[in-house]
Structure 1
Amino acid sequence: MSETRPRRSTLGAGHMRSLTALLGFVVVGLGAIAAVLTFGGASPESVVEDYLAAETEGDYLRLCELSGGDHRDELLTSQDPAFTDCDDYAEEMERRAEEATKDPGYDASLDRYLDELEPQVEILAVDEQGDEAVVEVEVTYEHSGGEPVSAGQEGDDTRRFAVLTEKIDGSWLVTAPYYQGD
C-alpha cells in the first residue's frame, strides 16, 4: 500500500510575493482615499462645503480636521491650556457646549432655533492658483419651522464671504474661513 502525500500549492514563491505586493498596493490605495475623505477635501469647493457643514452642526472634530496651517494652529493654541490635537480640541469644545446648557441664563429656545436652520451653500466662484484657492460662497440660512426666537431672527439670512483654502500634504484644507484678502 502506498501512502498519499498531501499536495503542495501550485503557487510558487514568486507568485505569492506578487500576490502579497498587489494586496499591499490595494490596501495603501484605499488608505490614501480614506485619508483624503477623512482629513481634507478632494477640491477647494468640497472642503469649504464640508467645513461650513461641520461649523453649523457643531462638529468640532471635523471642523479642526478640515482646518490647516495657521488656522488650525490658532484653534489648538488660542485656548488655555492649548490643545495637542484635534481630538483634544473637540472633546473640550463639546464639554464646554454641554456646560453652557447648565448656565441659569441659558435659553433652550435658541438651540431649537439653531436646530431648525438649514444652511444652503452656493459656490459662487473659485480662484485656484497652484496650491491655494479662494472660494467665494453665499450661504443662506433658512429657518425651517417653529417660532423665531426674536424679531432679529425671523426669515432667511444670506451671507456672502470668501474662504481661503490650501493644498497641504495632498489635501485641500481651510486656512482662513472668513478670508478678507491680502
Structure 2
Amino acid sequence: MSTALLQALEKQDIHGLVSAIEAGADVNEFVKPNGERPLTVAIESFECPVERHTALHILLAAGANPTLLDDDEEFLGPLFSAMLAQDAKSLRILLTAGADPALEHRGLGETLYEAAEVDYLLETWMMELPEQPMDADKASEEAWLGFLKRIAVEHGKPTPDCMFELWSAGACRSLRRSD
C-alpha cells in the first residue's frame, strides 16, 4: 500500500499524486484498508469536480485499470462511486477508459444502471415523481429517460445525466428483473 499515494488522494493534492506516481506508486493496488483502489479514492476524496477529473486522467494515464473492482464485498468501485457522487463526467471518463457499464452490484443483484435510477429518484424526487408516467413514457428505456429529463426541466431539478451516461455506454437492467 502506497502511503504517499493515499495521502495525496485524501488531501486532494494533484502535485502529490503526480509525485507519488513518479516515485513508483502502484495505481492499481488497494490503498485503503477497506479495499478501495486509487480511482475510487480519487472520486470520493476530490471535492472539486475539475480536480477530480484531473486526478482520474492522471491515474488512468499512469495505468490505472478502470475495470478492477474494489475488494469490499459490496460496491462496484469507481463507477459506483462516480454514480453516487452524481458525477456524469467522471462516469464518462471511466467508461471511455474501458470500465464496464453492465456491472451488477455485488450482493444485491441489481445493475449499476438500476442503482443509478434509484439514487436519482431518491436524491432528486425523494421517490415521489410530480406526475405519473404515461404508458408511452414506459414503452422503452429511452422513453423513460426522456420522461425523467422532461419533468426535471419542467420542475427545475437535475436531469438524470448519470443514467443517460450509463445507458449510452451500454448499461442494462438486470436479467432477473421481474417486471
> Which structure: larger Rg?
1
Same fold? TM cut 0.5: no
The answer to which structure has the higher strand fraction is 1
- TM-score normalised over the length of structure 2: 0.23
